[in-house]
């Protein structure tokens, strides 16, 4: 029997390839912990962190709670791990005959996980120090142990035997585990995190140390990310002080870092809360000012204190009558946070639109029709930005003249040199767009009169 393909041969190609987009609504919280070997773990609920060994007092858990408590809430929050230098194990319950176990997990370069349990049975009915000494003896007996144990009073400190070793600690229910130190630099932490998972846009961290905050801001400035932090320094609300963290961030003119003054910054994270709240809105449709936050305590600042924070391009969360809302919404350099996020999104959208056009067409000819293909991709991104609320719509003045939301300019093929065409690089594609902005403050002037108000 003859093959019908001899008569009619149909071939259908798939010009549907798409490059992955950055997660402009995904946030990351970074801090030291030993509850995972991954550099990044994703959670859809803060309670899942408790199941993984975090405690209700861990800073990472508290910051995640602040994020998940918002309405609307994020669908997920990513937790980034800062390498731990040492961790403290204590006894929660002393029981004769009780079995106390510390399990150490490590992962090799191929991803293979090794799990080593160290158990001690309290047969003699000893107290906390005796139990910890018993666990230490078991660890000491293991010549291949990747951790070393030291006991001081009722605390056992576990540290890697070799600098830079990642380890996960799982303890039995009668023990507790709390991070003691982390000496890994911010640059190394973020390099390891982004190498494993770079699909996130905004991040915060549990550290309130000024040097680490400044290092985090410096790292962020060189990447398409935004970073948020909070401080409770007295100098932050004193206009005469120039050595506080807010002043240092402003001095460095950081466009990708925003900071809050918050009296309870040690245990609360307004930056995580506001990021989660605003990331629930697509870029261009939000402002970071006047936002109500759940799970965060409002600060009672005087106008003098607020003006000090404002003068340093900082942000606050304050109570106005019976409602607490965020104030300002700016990065350290003074620009609005929403503008930075929208700019980054628009750049990514145009990039991907043009990239997909190039890879999903067999050829885009260097003629007016081909240039129009590129122009249409730019226009599509700008139009979407207009629908999202970041770019102003077309408007009209009192004389009926159109004030365009955006314009796009592309060169005519006839005006492009042969040498430029030979390079196969299209240049001089330009656009101008009017930002829609946002209203944060309203000032109204009115008057009361006894006179008749007659409308002609």
Residue 59: φ, ψ to 5°: -60, -40
The three-class DSSP label of residue 133 is helix
Q: pLDDT tier at 11 (50, 70, 90 boundaries)?
A: low
Q: What is the pLDDT of residue 451?
A: 85
pLDDT of 10 higher than 70: no
Residue whose structure tokens are 């750049």: 347
Q: Return the half-sphere exposure (C-beta side, CA atoms, 13 A cut-off) of residue 340.
A: 25
Residue 27 has pLDDT above 60, yes or no: yes
Between 148 and 4, the more confident residue is: 148
| CB crowding 327-362: b at 16 or more within 10 Å, else e | bbbbbbbeebbbbbbbbbbbebbbebbbebbeeeee
| DSSP secondary structure letters along 147-185 | EEEEEETTEEEEEESSTT---EEEE-TTEEEEEEE----
For the chain, the average pLDDT equals: 92
Q: CA 79, CA 117: separation in Å to the nearest integer? A: 25
Give the separation between CA 336 and CA 329, rounded to whole angstroms. Answer: 6
The pLDDT tens digits of the residues spanning 259-298 come to 999 999 999 999 999 999 999 999 999 999 999 999 999 9
The DSSP symbol for 39 reads S
Going by pLDDT thresholds of 50, 70 and 90, the confidence category of residue 7 is very low
The pTM is what? 0.90
- Find the helix or strand (DSSP H, E) in which 137 lies: helix 128-140
- In sign, the C-alpha dihedral spanning 193, 199, 205, 206 is negative
């Amino acid at each position: 029997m003859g093959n019908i393909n001899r008569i009619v041969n149909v071939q259908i190609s798939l010009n549907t390839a798409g490059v992955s987009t950055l997660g402009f609504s995904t946030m990351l919280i970074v801090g030291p912990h030993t509850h995972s070997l991954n550099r990044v773990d994703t959670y859809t609920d803060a309670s899942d962190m408790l199941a993984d060994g975090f405690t209700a007092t861990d800073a990472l858990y508290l910051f995640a709670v602040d994020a998940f408590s918002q309405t609307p809430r994020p669908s997920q929050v990513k937790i980034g791990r800062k390498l731990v230098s040492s961790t403290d194990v204590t006894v929660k319950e002393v029981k004769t005959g009780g079995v106390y176990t510390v399990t150490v997990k490590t992962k090799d370069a191929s991803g293979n996980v090794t799990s080593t349990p160290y158990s001690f049975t309290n047969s003699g009915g000893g107290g906390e120090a005796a139990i910890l000494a018993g666990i230490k003896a078991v660890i000491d007996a293991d010549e291949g142990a990747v951790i070393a144990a030291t006991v001081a009073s009722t605390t056992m400190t576990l540290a890697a035997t070799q600098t830079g070793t990642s380890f996960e600690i799982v303890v039995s229910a009668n023990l507790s585990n709390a991070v003691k130190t982390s000496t890994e630099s911010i640059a190394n932490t973020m390099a390891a995190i982004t190498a494993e998972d770079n699909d996130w846009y905004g991040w915060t961290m549990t550290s309130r140390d000024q040097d680490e905050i400044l290092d985090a801001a410096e790292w962020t400035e060189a990447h398409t990310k935004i970073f948020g932090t909070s401080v409770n320094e007295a100098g932050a609300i004193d206009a005469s002080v120039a050595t506080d963290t807010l002043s240092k961030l402003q001095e460095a003119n950081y466009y990708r870092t925003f900071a809050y003054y918050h009296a309870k910054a040690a245990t609360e994270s307004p930056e995580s809360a506001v990021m989660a709240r605003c990331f629930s809105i697509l870029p261009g449709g939000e402002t970071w000012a006047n936002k109500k936050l759940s799970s965060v305590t409002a600060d009672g600042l005087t106008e003098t204190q607020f003006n000090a924070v404002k003068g340093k391009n900082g942000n606050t969360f304050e109570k106005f009558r019976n409602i607490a809302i965020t104030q300002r919404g700016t990065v350290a350099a003074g620009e609005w946070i929403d503008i930075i996020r929208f700019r980054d999104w628009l750049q990514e959208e145009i990039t991907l639109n043009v990239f997909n056009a190039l890879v999903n067409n067999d050829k885009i000819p260097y003629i007016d029709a081909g240039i129009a293909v590129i122009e249409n991709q730019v226009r599509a991104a700008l139009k979407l930005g207009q629908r999202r609320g970041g770019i102003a719509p077309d408007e009209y003045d009192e004389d009926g003249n159109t004030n365009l939301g955006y314009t796009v300019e592309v060169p005519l093929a006839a005006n492009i040199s042969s040498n430029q065409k030979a390079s196969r690089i299209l240049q001089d594609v330009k656009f101008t767009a009017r930002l829609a902005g946002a209203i944060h403050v309203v000032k109204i002037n009115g008057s009361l009169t006894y006179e008749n108000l007659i409308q002609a």
